[in-house]
Amino acid sequence: MITQVEPIVPEELWDHCNYILDEQEKKYNKPARKAAHLFTGVVGCECTGSFNKMYVPSNSPKYICQKCRNKIETTDLEGIFHQQLKDFFFSSDEIGNYLNNADQVIKDKEGVLNTLIGEEKKLRVEMDKVYRLYIDDEITSEGFGQRHKPMEEQLKQITDQIPELQGEIDFLKIQYLSSDQILNEARDLYSRWPDLQPIEKRKIIENITDRIVINQDL
Ligand SMILES: [Zn+2]
């Protein structure tokens, strides 16, 4: 049997992590509700060319297409879904790339910041030299103005840019840290999957999956 599972949308899952954690707290205060089969409404067959939802008849361990009798074990489907969570959160290039890119952007901006700080120092030294020339009567006040003025302007630009850039870097670092934290929570969610209540599993499935298409045996 070939199974095709729709890609998981990371942001939605991440957004939903906190919600799930909240729900977990609530479960200790509420009597457990009996959930429907986990994938009902999500899983289906496309034997007729359109999406037919597959259901679990009573006394059956399988989701079955009523049109063509295509079927999949409920436990197999849950296993595949769980595996997808793992593939996504533990080995996804997408997540690795995302975190690497964020890291690289921060490094690039820090490089620019260091260059600016270096330029500022150099500029102050040069301005100091011009000032000393003037004090020692080596140049006229007009000559001083001509040399000093453009450097003052350049310095102002640099000193305006530095705190702005520093702010951007701080913001990116916080963002980068929190995405890492969210990822860890999502991974934790994967690890705890076997211990989650059916209602919690159902909520996760509903929130990250549009549909799962079960292909027919060839
Ligand atoms: Zn079918």
How, if at all, do strands 71-73 and 62-64 pair?
Answer: antiparallel
Q: How far is CA 201 from CA 79, 85, 160, 190, 214, in A?
A: 12, 12, 51, 10, 20
User: Tokens for 197?
Assistant: 């209540």
User: Tokens for 17?
Assistant: 């992590």
- For 125-134, 180-189, 190-199, which range has the lowest pLDDT when averaged over its residues? 180-189
CA of 88 to the centre of ligand 1 (A): 28
CA of 211 to the centre of ligand 1 (A): 15
Q: Distance between CA atoms of 175 and 35, rounded to whole angstroms?
A: 36
Is the pLDDT score of 18 beyond 60?
no
CA of 55 to the centre of ligand 1 (A): 11
Say what the pTM is. Answer: 0.51
- Ion ligand 1, residue ranges at CB < 5 A: 45, 47, 65, 67-68, 70
Is the pLDDT score of 6 beyond 70?
no
Is the pLDDT score of 153 beyond 50?
yes
Q: Distance between CA atoms of 64 and 53, rounded to whole angstroms?
A: 9
The mean of the pLDDT values for the chain is: 82
At residue 13, the pLDDT reads 54
At residue 164, the pLDDT reads 94
What average pLDDT score do residues 168-181 get?
81
CA of 110 to the centre of ligand 1 (A): 57
Is the pLDDT score of 136 beyond 60?
yes
- For 1-5, 84-88, 209-213, which range has the lowest pLDDT when averaged over its residues? 1-5
Dump pLDDT digits (tens) for 51-100. Answer: 999 999 988 999 999 999 999 999 999 999 998 888 777 766 666 666 77
CA of 41 to the centre of ligand 1 (A): 14
CA of 53 to the centre of ligand 1 (A): 9
At residue 174, the pLDDT reads 82
At residue 12, the pLDDT reads 53
Q: Distance between CA atoms of 144 and 140, rounded to whole angstroms?
A: 6
CA of 68 to the centre of ligand 1 (A): 4
CA of 52 to the centre of ligand 1 (A): 7
CA of 214 to the centre of ligand 1 (A): 8
Q: 3-state class of 218 per DSSP?
A: coil
